[in-house]
């Protein structure tokens, strides 16, 4: 894995083959059978296009604010042991459905000091057991203020491909795109116990834009 810097593509590059194939198929059916028969294929192509959209994001929150790593809905806010750093933490989980943007972004400014990938199952990412049993990839990041947080990409029922473009030693800035999960999934954040959480279960959040928590300034 290597850190990827490239001009923002608007449509995520991870989806280019899917978008191209779906539109090509719709066009072939239109030209050879007719628009009526091709209508379902055009609807599928439009769905694929919206799934892989990846709008640019500008972080405006204060430096001590942890921003959301994903678009979606908060499904868990709970005290729990961080299994990656083996310490007490607060877990905030964001569930991404098929209509959310699936680009993953760094929640903090800092340096990656641990990357852990674990193969696993593909149960519904809305279930809490997905954090323990599903395929997942964890980044442990030390913030510029000296705090350690863990950001975990978790595969879901349909998602079968976690993509991460950073490795140990990578320097991340808040809102920087570091990965992607295809077709529905979740991201778990493990934060220090003294973090002030600013979201609740059921809240809708946007990657890089929504404040998840405040970390005390060093």
Judge if 82 and 30 occupy the same domain. Answer: no
- Any idea which residues carry the catalytic annotation? 185
Q: What is the CATH number of the domain that holds 174?
A: 2.70.70.10
Domain assignment present for 73:
yes
Domain count, the chain: 2
pLDDT per position as a tens digit, 59-108: 888 889 999 999 999 999 999 999 999 999 999 999 998 888 888 999 99
Find tokens 């905030």 and name the residue: 92
Judge if 49 and 75 occupy the same domain. Answer: no
pLDDT per position as a tens digit, 146-203: 999 999 998 866 555 788 999 999 999 999 999 988 766 889 999 999 999 999 999 9
Judge if 150 and 107 occupy the same domain. Answer: yes
pTM exceeds 0.95: no
Domain assignment present for 5:
no
Q: At what angle do helices 35-51 and 16-32 cross, to 10 degrees?
A: 170
Determine contact, residues 166/115, Cβ cutoff 8 Å. Answer: yes
Judge if 153 and 125 occupy the same domain. Answer: yes
How far is the C-alpha of 198 from the C-alpha of 21, rounded, in Å?
A: 41
Judge if 113 and 208 occupy the same domain. Answer: yes
Which residue, 163, 49, 140, 63, is CA-closest to 99?
A: 49
Domain that holds residue 24: 10-54
Domain assignment present for 1:
no
**DSSP state at residue 134:** B
């Amino acid at each position: 894995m290597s850190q990827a810097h490239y001009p923002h593509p608007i449509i995520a590059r991870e989806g280019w083959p899917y978008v191209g194939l779906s539109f090509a198929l719709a066009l072939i059916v239109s030209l050879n059978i007719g628009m009526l028969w091709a209508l379902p294929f055009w609807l599928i192509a439009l769905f694929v296009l919206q799934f892989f959209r990846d709008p640019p994001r500008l972080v405006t929150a204060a430096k001590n604010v942890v921003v959301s790593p994903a678009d979606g809905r908060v499904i868990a806010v709970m005290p729990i042991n961080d299994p990656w750093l083996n310490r007490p933490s607060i877990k905030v989980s964001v569930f991404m459905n098929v209509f959310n943007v699936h680009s993953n972004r760094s929640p903090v400014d800092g340096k990656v000091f641990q990357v852990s990938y674990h193969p696993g199952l593909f149960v519904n990412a809305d279930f809490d057991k997905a954090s323990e049993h599903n395929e997942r990839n964890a980044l442990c990041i030390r913030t510029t203020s000296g705090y350690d947080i863990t950001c975990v990409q978790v595969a879901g029922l349909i998602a079968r491909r976690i993509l991460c473009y950073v490795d140990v030693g990578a320097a991340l800035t808040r809102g920087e795109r570091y990965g992607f999960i295809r077709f529905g999934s979740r991201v778990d954040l493990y934060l220090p116990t003294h973090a002030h959480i600013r979201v609740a279960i059921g809240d809708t959040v946007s990657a890089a834009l929504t404040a998840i928590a405040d970390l005390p300034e060093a």
